[in-house]
Amino acid sequence: MPSALITGITGQDGMYLAELLHGKGYEVHALIRGQNNPKRALIETGFPYVQLHNGDLTDMSSLMRALRDSQPDEVYNLGAISFVAYSWENAHVTSDVTGKGVLNVLEAVRLHAGDDPGSVRFYQASSSEMFGKVQQVPQDESTLLWPRSPYGVAKVFGHYMTINYRESYGMHASSGILFNHESPRRGPEFVTRKVSRAVARIHLGLQDEIVMGNLDAKRDWGFAGDYVEAMWRMLQQDEADDYVIATGETHSIEELLDAAFGHVGIDDWRPRVRQDPRFMRPAEVDLLIGDATKARERLGWQPTVSFRELVAMMVEADLAEQKQLAGL
């Protein structure tokens, strides 16, 4: 039975990946951080097959211990401080976790693997935020990186460190440059989930309006369940490499609002939306749209959920959750 170790198990992608690997017959291990982590119970009850190891991306000895105790064939580094807006307020800790944390995992895997550096396959969760002020449309694996936030800068560090460990030590280290990917499990601080939850609450009469930031930004949004499949496929290749994972379609925040409000029959959503500078960012990533040709050709990967289907899935899930919470 193959074994995998996941960091970032309490996040959206960690949960989808755990399900995918368990379904494929893996023994699934995961690193979990912190004393009294409020999400621990969610993982223990929702994903009882996951074996949890206490540790932290900033603590090398805890990473070494998790590797020793799980003996993984594959390591998926999904752990990070992942919210772009937060990264300006906490640039140092974002650099330590989202950037240097990658180096810690790479180094721990290298030391653990000993004489056979390719024996433990490594996946790094790189990000389309690395493209930032985009230098090419659409963006692919060779597009110049120009990050626009401390989060983006930290992801660039992790991305190049992954490539460097592959080239320096012959490690099987792959980097997935994933464009925004969403689901009903997305954290409520991200724009898709913020909108789907608010639209559900407005439809149920539990809330009047939603307060937003920049409505002009455009993103290439896919379904997280599809994207974890791409991670796994990368690690099944003979050679490690870097891949863009994206839908190839872009939509503005206005279009997101259109689709989400439209799903509950509200066509004129403008009176329900207020803009507040509080949600504007010091520097914005205006346009993301990915070219996943390489992933399609080499991994046989393609997205299965359209933008409208994704928005509908998220609004429906939030309607069900909000009804239950409100006892409706």
Catalytic amino acids? 127, 129, 151
Q: How far apart are CA 275 and CA 235, in angstroms?
A: 43
Q: Which is nearer to ligand GDP, 167 or 189 (CB)?
A: 189
CA angle, 104 then 226 then 87, to 5°? 45
- Tell me the closest approach of the beta carbon of residue 255 to ligand GDP, in angstroms: 12
Write the DSSP symbol of residue 236: T
**Strand (E) or helix (H) holding 22:** helix 12-23
Q: Which is nearer to ligand GDP, 168 or 275 (CB)?
A: 275
Q: Which is nearer to ligand GDP, 84 or 102 (CB)?
A: 84
Q: How far apart are CA 256 and CA 264, in angstroms?
A: 13
Is residue 85 within 8 A of residue 281, CB to CB? The reply is: yes
- Tell me the closest approach of the beta carbon of residue 281 to ligand GDP, in angstroms: 5
CA distances to 48, 71, 79 from 55, in Å: 19, 15, 11
- Tell me the closest approach of the beta carbon of residue 239 to ligand GDP, in angstroms: 29
Is residue 143 within 8 A of residue 153, CB to CB? The reply is: no
Write the DSSP symbol of residue 328: -
Q: How far apart are CA 75 and CA 269, in angstroms?
A: 44
- Tell me the closest approach of the beta carbon of residue 100 to ligand GDP, in angstroms: 20
Q: How far apart are CA 79 and CA 56, in angstroms?
A: 9
- Can you give the binding site for ligand GDP, defined by CB under 6 A? 84-85, 129, 180, 189-191, 194, 212-214, 217, 219, 253, 279, 281, 284-285
Q: Which is nearer to ligand GDP, 151 or 243 (CB)?
A: 151
Q: Which is nearer to ligand GDP, 49 or 279 (CB)?
A: 279
- Tell me the closest approach of the beta carbon of residue 192 to ligand GDP, in angstroms: 6
**Strand (E) or helix (H) holding 111:** helix 101-113
Q: Which is nearer to ligand GDP, 44 or 189 (CB)?
A: 189
- Tell me the closest approach of the beta carbon of residue 86 to ligand GDP, in angstroms: 9
CA distances to 85, 185, 270, 274 from 25, in Å: 37, 23, 48, 48
Token pair listed for 148:
């626009």
**Strand (E) or helix (H) holding 176:** strand 173-178
